[in-house]
Structure 1
């Protein structure tokens, strides 16, 4: 069995949970609240900056020229193309580029990007491959699921079209092959790959939940006011 298939089998409950999440089903039907989609746009924009960094770090750590070239190319495409798509989504909903760049990461976004960056710096190349895989394969599978259950075109149709495009499917297939190569070359790291994959998959689910609930940091407590001691 391919390593990518082993990971997807281990993550099947998380995949099913993502596909039935109300953010996903309501986006597919076009009924998702605009504020939830705005939250996703802003948070995913911040996420992608770090996702690009992870590919760049991975590119600097691999040894073969072809893989290095591809990973660094993905980092460039995220910054040059996918973030343009988010800027376009944002403009449609009245979000300026300045607002995108200054928005504070929600707790879930912080947790996910910190995990990916820590894996990129401290994990093996095989672990990095497994950690980045759920984002690519997850969006492809979920967007295809959205396309299957959508009954008409609506304001969120461009989202579905982007992540079901041939270009995106090809990029995911490369990630899948990268995972498979790592699993074949480093059999002793398969369990670590599985754990990295499942952690990212759990955070993918939490990312939909974060956007749907418009997650924010809890209000900071007011500073304590010192009371004078009685004499």
Structure 2
């Protein structure tokens, strides 16, 4: 069994739930409220900055020049390709640079980015690789699942095309191949760490979409619970 097949088994139930969650079902139907998608795109743009930094960190620990080039290239492509996607929708929804800066990061976005940076900065190469893999793999699966049922005229067609496109699929396949190679080269303890980190990143993918759908931000204490100065 390939290591990525083990990862699939480990997270099968959670990944089914991601495909079936209201955000993705309504995005496929074209009925997702525009204000929900607008908030999601803002947070996704904030997330992308952290994700690119995480890819750069894990690239610095890669065991060979080919892996360094692959991951560094992924960081560059993520920043370039997805910036175009975000720019399209931010322009459509009237999100200015000032609006973007004032929005800040949601709790779910901040939590996910912190997880990635911690794994890629403190963990070894294998852990960092496992941490960033779900962002590639799950978006590929969701993009293709939605593309298979989305009707013409879907208002989120640009998003669907990005994640169901051939170029993105090729980048995901390269990540899967690299993960299988690393998984085969390390010991059981290392693979167990990769499995735990991968599963946690999958949870963060679910949490990011769920938070966006319910338009959740930072939970604040009630005013009466804040000590007076």
For normalisation by structure 2, the TM-score amounts to 0.93
Question: For 1:174 and 1:203, how far apart are their aligned partners in 2?
Answer: 22
Corresponding residue of 1:180: 180
Which blocks of at least 5 consecutive residues in structure 2 are unaligned? none
Between Structure 1 and Structure 2, whose CA radius of gyration is higher? 1
User: Post-superposition shift, 1:4?
Assistant: 1.0
Instruction: State the SS of the aligned residue for 1:61.
Output: coil
Matched residue count: 226
User: Post-superposition shift, 1:220?
Assistant: 5.7
Q: Which digits, 9 at most, give the CA deviation of each residue in 1:173-196, with x for residues without a partner?
A: 111011101101113311111100
Contact kept, 8 Å, 2:85 with 2:159, in 1: the verdict is no
Matched, 1:215 2:210: no
CA RMSD of aligned residues (A): 1.5
Corresponding residue of 2:21: 21
User: Post-superposition shift, 1:102?
Assistant: 4.0
Contact kept, 8 Å, 2:85 with 2:158, in 1: the verdict is no
Instruction: State the SS of the aligned residue for 2:60.
Output: helix
Corresponding residue of 1:86: 86
Contact kept, 8 Å, 1:112 with 1:200, in 2: the verdict is yes
What does 1:78-157 correspond to in 2, within 5 Å?
Answer: 78-157=78-157
Q: Which digits, 9 at most, give the CA deviation of each residue in 1:8-55, with x for residues without a partner?
A: 111100110001100000000010011110111011101110100011
Question: For 2:97 and 2:87, how far apart are their aligned partners in 1?
Answer: 7
Distance 1:88 1:151, change over 3 A: closer
User: Post-superposition shift, 1:149?
Assistant: 2.5
Corresponding residue of 1:192: 193
User: Post-superposition shift, 1:7?
Assistant: 0.3
Question: For 2:163 and 2:17, how far apart are their aligned partners in 1?
Answer: 19
Question: For 1:14 and 1:46, how far apart are their aligned partners in 2?
Answer: 24
Contact kept, 8 Å, 1:130 with 1:179, in 2: the verdict is yes
Question: For 1:128 and 1:21, how far apart are their aligned partners in 2?
Answer: 27
Contact kept, 8 Å, 1:46 with 1:101, in 2: the verdict is no
Corresponding residue of 2:2: 2
Q: Following superposition, which runs of at least 4 residues in structure 1 exceed 6 angstroms of deviation? A: none
User: Post-superposition shift, 1:110?
Assistant: 1.1
Matched, 1:45 2:45: yes
Question: For 1:75 and 1:102, how far apart are their aligned partners in 2?
Answer: 25
Matched, 1:64 2:64: yes
User: Post-superposition shift, 1:124?
Assistant: 1.4
Contact kept, 8 Å, 1:59 with 1:71, in 2: the verdict is yes
User: Post-superposition shift, 1:57?
Assistant: 0.7
